[in-house]
Structure 1
Amino acid sequence: MVQRKLPSELEEEILIRVPPSSLARFRAVCKEWNVLFSDKRFANNQLACARPEFMLQTDSNVFSISVNLNDDPTIQVRKLTIDFPGFHYCNCDGYFFLYDLLHNRVAVSNPWLRQTKRIGCALDEPFTLCGMGYDSSRPEKSYKIFGFTYCCLNALQYKRFVIFDFETNAWKFIDHANNLANSTSERWWRYNNVSLNGNLFSTAYDCETGQYFIRIVDFSKEIVKPFCILPCEKKDSNHTHALAVYKGDRFSLLEQCYKTRKIEILVTKKKISNGDDGDNVVWIKFMTVSIPNFPRFNHTFSRYMVDNNIYGKTFVMCCPDDPDDKTRRAWVYVVRGDLCKKISIDHLVDGSCRCCVYVPSLMPIT
């Protein structure tokens, strides 16, 4: 047994801040660490301290990309193993929900632990997967999936929202959702959503008022409703909006002009607490990115994150499918002050790519 030189509490505080890739190797150091890393309390603490990473899914591979935001930013690319070919996915707390439309299969995976478990069965009708969250009103997290199907009523087509509950292993339609969907537009809902405090948030547009707003899927109450108004101009086809999580407990909002490619980043001033109704959300300016010929943010393929550390405010964007890049390589852009560093992701192969932001987790699948 390794001789202990530090108090166990201090040792654990250090270990939860170690990158998960290193923790996976450290299991072999001693039996005590192997047991500790499997403890749910330790896994939850590690998840709270873990830094978000990009995940890229190509036609044949899945990669995790960590960004080191030091004085000279760098990236590290790791290949992940997910034994579930041809999948669509969404993620929450390091778990990935996998949906195989072709073979009507669903599964949950933690790629860092190389665990994939098939669960239940897919919906009997075409289903668009949107996002993942959990019931935060319970002591133990009960994970759920949200998406929608298309239905026809009196020759009119509308969206009908549906939830999959991991605990009951069953699908459930939200009957009131079609009334909400008729008066709003959520063109990018499948791609432009984030999970925070167990709930799913996405940007939407009110066709009647002309306002952009954030919509919430409350998994505890299983309802869909508006959360807060976004500080954006009335609908403008020359602007792109994207939502992300900032500091693990707040929102950030990207607004990019399609013509000039100028980007404005806003963040919420205070934490978004569980149970907030959105009435008191205040947005403040975080930073501006005004660089000639900067890539356009694409909801389907691009993702971003922002940070504010000792080196300053930083904007990071992953662009797996830049239309101006004929080599079809993917790039990570890091912008901070006068710095704009373009880093190539050399591990990718030809073919389509999809990107997401996730937090690596050591939480096992039970």
Structure 2
Amino acid sequence: MDSTKTKKEQLPWELIEEVLSHVPPRSLVRFRTVCKRWNTLFNDKTFINNHTWTFRFILTTKSKIYSVSINPKIVVRELTLDIPGIQPEIKHLVDCNEFLLCCMDKGASVWNPWLNLSRWIKADVSEPSSRFRIDGIGYDTDNHNNNNNNMIAWWGIHDFASEEWKDLEVEPSQGDKEPFLLTKSGVSLNGNLFSDLLCYLPCGMNHPRDALVLRVFRGDRFSLLKQCHVTKKIEIWVTKNMISVEDGNDVVWMNFMTLSIPNFPGLVPNKYSYSQPSYFIQHKRLVMCSCDETGKPWIYVVEENKLISKVHMSSVVDPWPLHCTYFPSLVPVPGGRRKEAELHV
């Protein structure tokens, strides 16, 4: 007997990938244990980006939560955040690597919307509910965040393991340069939380309606979007090297792209709005989410100094939605103590 005939027939790997790209995300988590090759595939961002259910923006209104997929076309779907006994009216939304932080009056939810798994965090009772807001998530290390402000900063830290709040005093960094005011929230990168005044930026705001947004770039660096309100010119800057807490003040910025597109809209809707655009970079393509002056949300896709598409998300029922970028992952929401460190928000 030919021994080769006794071997089980196997599907081509490309076909296996195609089939798995249609499997619900929560099932993929269980399939990690099938074999090492499958586990490696599920950690591949290209696979997740090509997954049928992948989305890249989250929008929230008073009554609804939406995901927005971009490739191959823009698709808006409703999401559900289930919190027993709490009506999820989100007041503040923060993208933190694999998770979203959804701040509300009585606390916040740490949420993986792709897996639809969440964990509720009660608000610090020492703070008035109107002031409660969580700005990021990271691990407990000697450097909780990078504070370049000239004043001492006070942070409230929530320990996932003990469910307790504690105060943390952060000394200002030493330096002879003036940092630029950046955003209203922190930026999480590789378990480190960088505060508003992160580092010395390559450009600042010259007008109240200039857009200035810092994001994570390619997993280990930062990118900065700047739009001049007067000229509508958009600049994208990226850091040259990997970012670490120790060298946060010594980053080197490079101009990644400059876009001057006729009749391109302003990305900050009005001078009274704190809304900044959300964006991500895919190869040489820039994808942005922003509201117009009436509060209607739009998606803009730009490539090679040309506006490829401009889509109004008409299915978003309420004006002025909160929005942020989000890259789906199969990382479960942490529920207890880790061996290496304790997770904090």
1:100-249 aligned within 5 A: 100-101=104-105, 104-126=106-128, 127-135=131-139, 160-176=154-170, 186=181, 188-190=183-185, 193-204=186-197, 215=198, 228-232=199-203, 236-237=206-207, 239-249=210-220
Question: What SS does the aligned partner of 2:89 have?
Answer: coil
Shift of 1:86: 1.0
For 1:121 and 1:347, how far apart are their aligned partners in 2? 32
1:58 counterpart = 2:61: yes
Aligned counterparts of 2:138 and 2:317: Cα–Cα separation in 1: 35
8 Å CA contact 1:44–1:363 kept in 2: the answer is no
- Report how far residue 322 of structure 1 moved: 0.8
- Cα deviation for residue 342 of structure 1 reads 0.5
The CA deviation string for residues 201-236 of structure 1, in whole angstroms up to 9 with x for no partner, is 3553xxxxxxxxxx2xxxxxxxxxxxx321226x63
Whole-Å separation in 2 of the counterparts to 1:251 and 1:26: 30
Matched residue SS, 2:23: helix
Q: CA deviation at 1:108?
A: 2.7
Cα distance in 1, alignment partners of residues 127 and 222 from structure 2? 34
1:26–1:254 distance in 2 versus 1, CA, 3 Å: closer
Which of the residues 264, 277, 285 maps onto 1:294? 264
The two structures, once aligned, show a CA RMSD in angstroms of 3.8
Larger RCO (CA under 8 A, 6+ residues apart): 2
Structure 2: runs of 5 or more not aligned: 1-7, 50-54, 146-151, 269-273, 336-345
Choose which of 238, 248, 255 in structure 2 pairs with 1:285: 255
List runs of 5+ in structure 1 lacking aligned partners: 28-32, 139-143, 147-157, 205-214, 216-227
Aligned to 1:151: none
Secondary structure at the residue paired with 1:362?
coil
1:76 paired residue number: 75
Measure the CA separation in 2 of the matches of 1:106 and 1:194.
Answer: 17
Q: Partners of 2:124 and 2:33 in 1: how far apart?
A: 30
Distance in 2 between residues matched to 1:187 and 1:338, nearest whole Å: 25
Do 2:98 and 2:331's aligned partners in 1 also have CA atoms closer than 8 Å?
yes
- Distance in 1 between the 2:30 and 2:108 partners? 30
Q: Deviation per CA, 1:219-277: give whole Å up to 9, x if none.
A: xxxxxxxxx321226x63364321112222221111211211111111122233x4541
- Report how far residue 354 of structure 1 moved: 0.4
Question: Residue 89 of structure 2 aligns to which amino acid in structure 1?
Answer: G
The TM-score normalised by the length of structure 2 is 0.71
AA matched with 2:154: R
On the 8 A contact 2:101/2:109 being kept in 1, the answer is yes
- Where in structure 2 are the equivalents of 1:79-94 lying within 5 Å? 79-84=78-83, 85-87=88-90, 88-94=92-98
Give distance in 2, aligned partners of 1:13 and 1:284.
40
Count of aligned positions: 295
Q: Which residue in the other structure is 1:208 paired with?
A: none
Contact 1:58–1:353 (Cα < 8 Å) also in 2: yes
Asked whether the 8 Å contact 2:57–2:326 carries over to 1, the reply is yes
Sort the Cα spacing of 1:263 and 1:94 in 2 relative to 1 into closer, same or farther, 3 A. same
Structure 1, residues 278-315: CA drift from partner, whole Å, max 9, x if none? 3552222111121233222335252111221xxxx111
8 Å contact 1:38–1:362 — kept in the other structure? no
SS in 2 for 1:74: coil
Which residue number corresponds to residue 361 of structure 1? 329
State the secondary structure of the residue aligned to 1:132: coil
Q: Post-superposition shift, 1:98?
A: 3.2
Question: Compared with structure 1, are the counterparts of its residues 134 and 46 closer, same or farther at alpha carbon in structure 2 (3 Å cutoff)?
Answer: farther
Output the amino acid matched with 2:279: Y
3-state DSSP class of the match of 1:35? helix
Give TM-score, length-normalised by structure 1.
0.67
1:57 deviation in Å? 0.6
* CA deviations over 1:155-195 (Å, ceiling 9, x no partner): xxx96322222122121212346999xx97747323xx432
SS at match of 1:113: coil
Helix, strand or coil: the match of 1:229? coil
Contact 1:47–1:360 (CA<8 Å) still a contact in 2?
no
Matched with 2:10 is: 5
Does 2:102 match 1:98? yes
Q: d(CA) in 1 for partners of 2:57 and 2:215?
A: 12
Kept in 2, the 8 Å contact 1:130–1:189? The answer is no
* Offset at residue 36 of structure 1 (A): 1.8
